Amino acid sequence: MIDFLFGPFLRNEFMLRALAGGLLVSLSCAVVGTFVVLRGLAFIGDALSHGVLPGVAIALLLGLPGMVGAAAGSLAMILGIGYITRRSSLSSDTAIGLLFVGMLALGVVIVSRSRSFSGDLIHILFGEVLGISWADVASQAAAAVAVSAVALVCRRPFLLLSFSAEQADVSGFPAKRYHGIMLLMIALTVVVSFKTVGTLLVFGLLIAPAASAALFAKKTGSMMAFAWAFGAFSAYAGLLASYYLNIAGGGSIALVATALFFVLLALKRASASRRAGATARGARA
């Protein structure tokens, strides 16, 4: 049993690198995903994770690192959302939706014009967690440290923003400034993580572990800890399933994270039903 559970990581360096990368992605996504869930920013997280596609495609066509294109795509999304909301009466959700569709469509058009993207497109969308290097792991570690440091320094304004932008302004923390910082954190997480789990699946790790943690955690710190624990388990279990079942690693990780949410939700509802039944029986007695 020990060999079944840990042998693939001990015998294969590529599995060990994948696990290290997955744990670090889970940490970054746990920190950022907590605020995404608390503030209801899932839509913009989805938009940013898809909006990097044209940037990555253009970078690869020019022979540049994909991460450079991902950063440019995320920055274009953030600046575009700000420009539309400032220059028009449209809501931020509408601006996000417009750019989400536009950037994704642009990426599809660019990819469709080049036959050389057949393999690269799969890596962009779904990642190559089993093919990452120790340099990629180091990048993930740097991003995790940066995201955690920003969250620690800005924890109070971020918490105030989770309740009310007006309350943050009144407390001396400009809501627009800290909202922008939070968007940059989301973008950094997406940009660095797309190499590991891809642009489509990083959104799953941003939302699912944090949503699972929200079912049980009462404080922001404990929510982040639970989210990292759930994300780390998803990375481990997903890679193990990938190894034995010969299926995609990134997809397995995201699928485990999503399935875990529904399992925990069912357990919580069952526990609540038992408590309600016990309370009703006690009242009748």
**Ordered domains of the chain (ranges, CATH):** 2-268 (1.10.3470.10)
The mean pLDDT value of the chain amounts to 85
- What pLDDT, in 10s, does the model give residues 61-120? 787 887 888 888 888 888 888 888 888 777 777 888 888 888 888 887 877 776 665 556
pLDDT of residue 121: 64
Indicate the angle between helix axes 134-153 and 175-214, nearest 10 degrees: 110
- What pLDDT, in 10s, does the model give residues 29-70? 999 999 988 888 877 877 887 778 888 888 877 878 878 888
281 pLDDT exceeds 70?
no
pLDDT of residue 257: 93
Average pLDDT on 117-138 reads 75
- What pLDDT, in 10s, does the model give residues 8-34? 998 999 999 999 999 999 999 999 999
Average pLDDT on 225-253 reads 92
Average pLDDT on 250-263 reads 91
Tell me the CA distances in angstroms from 36 to 30, 43, 159, 176, 204, one per residue in order.
10, 9, 11, 16, 12
Confirm if 136 and 128 have CB atoms less than 8 A apart.
no
Q: Pick the range with the lowest mean pLDDT from 71-80, 92-101, 190-199, 276-285.
A: 276-285
Exposure letters 246-283 (e unless 16+ CB within 10 A, then b): eebbbbbbbbbbbebbeebeeeeeeeeeeeeeeeeeee
Confirm if 247 and 241 have CB atoms less than 8 A apart.
yes
**Phi/psi at 15 (5° precision):** -70, -40
pTM equals: 0.86
194 pLDDT exceeds 90?
no
pLDDT of residue 23: 93
From CA 72, how far away is CA 188, in angstroms rounded? 11
Confirm if 200 and 207 have CB atoms less than 8 A apart.
no
Average pLDDT on 205-226 reads 91
- The 3-class SS string of the chain reads CHHHHHHHHHHCHHHHHHHHHHHHHHHHHHHHHHHHHHHCCHHHHHHHHHHHHHHHHHHHHCCCCHHHHHHHHHHHHHHHHHHHHHHCCCCHHHHHHHHHHHHHHHHHHHHHCCCCHHHHHHHHHHCCHHHCCHHHHHHHHHHHHHHHHHHHHCHHHHHHHHHCHHHHHHCCCCHHHHHHHHHHHHHHHHHHHHHHHHHHHHHHHHHHHHHHHHCCCCCHHHHHHHHHHHHHHHHHHHHHHHHHHCCCHHHHHHHHHHHHHHHHHHHHHHHHHHHHHHHHHHHHC
pLDDT of residue 78: 85
From CA 125, how far away is CA 127, in angstroms rounded? 6
pLDDT of residue 118: 53
From CA 189, how far away is CA 123, in angstroms rounded? 17
pLDDT of residue 99: 85
Q: Pick the range with the lowest mean pLDDT from 22-31, 136-145, 186-195.
A: 186-195
267 pLDDT exceeds 60?
yes
Average pLDDT on 204-209 reads 89
pLDDT of residue 102: 87
Chain centroid to CA 55: how far? 18
285 pLDDT exceeds 70?
no
Average pLDDT on 204-228 reads 91
Closest CA to 177 of 157, 156, 149: 157
